Structure 1
């Protein structure tokens, strides 16, 4: 954000995901005085003020906190739970500048739902982040609403880029993306659980098995994060002909592990669609 005027950004709701984005922005040089956040409780507000030096308003102390924070902001990042997102959009709509970008990181809330709740013509962008965003290693999608032009999408890309890799996708692909990157960290953690359990079955101490599985998965992730890394090439490099790893991979193939993973992702995508329909009904 060095080559353009610094935007004023308001985080409505500052849970782990919004705070991850906030941390990245501040680390990248955004002045704290350009940031306002809202939270429910006074204790959490005090914690954020102390940690980040930003203005934080608590709705428990001021019922108008969200409207106060949204008024005059260049970008409003909505990070409340999906069930409360549309009500929040309706609450802040009357005080938004016509040029304010509303960026939602709420799952299952479509662009059409947001645009219907906000003033006509309000620029809206939808993002689907994942939990590694807390470490600056997330994947965050952006999908443009009807009135989000190229410049606003570029601004959103820069803001969210502080938390990881930003990908542009049409909203029609959000559920598929969520099934891979949104739910994906849980798949990896599940694999680590299964590896640890396998170690115990083979006679290892449970604590040792957990360390081995955890550090192996984490280390493999770092290898995947290296420039130019390719998962197929990395797997083949570890899989010596007629070796132990080849036998394990052959067993996974025989049990159709890729089919199982695809079926799980399909179920996740279908559930995302169903949740959106429930919230829109």
Structure 2
């Protein structure tokens, strides 16, 4: 089972800056999925790209000025492309020499290396880290980590990634879901991923699995009646959630007993497992 990690983990373990990971994802060079509010990548991919990009190999050039003309000869980035980057702030300028723009050589060298690995040429500049190439050389100051990760996720807004879910988020139904998913994985029905101690599978697959399993899982609840407060305790739900379901017709009240609302337990169980797995409350990972 392949292991997946967060963009933060990829940064900390393999020195793969989140902005570079985003560029690789957008260029279809790195696989990724969404899980709750997280973007996850394969551990192996992150390690491989961290080694390929090897930002540290260019650090000795940091702050060293180089003319745009020499950049074209040495690194293959056209003069007009580089001057455009300089004007837009994409690359750090360190002065002018007889009208020739001078830029930070580390940034120029890394940009050329990065675009060559992606095999997109200078026109792939949209994939370069924003707002400035030099950001990949910055240290991981704790105060800067959160904004960088937040911006990385924003850069992937609107970009179609597969959404995953985990049977381990099923609350009181964990054992039921985990066993069903494990059987599917062992039979080759679905491909699963390991995220920490969680198993992840495509959300659409898990939805189909849950729908198909309702009858078997909750057959013994047919005809069972449960009080509203007991249902909330047993299935770890808020009373407010159950009242919303009643209001929306998702479940039905079947009577009262001593001023207590009576519900069909099978309906409650089916609604509860769906809420645990596929509502925002399922995602408790920081």
Common fold by TM > 0.5: no
TM-score, normalisation: structure 2:
0.26
Larger radius of gyration: 2
TM-score, normalisation: structure 1:
0.27
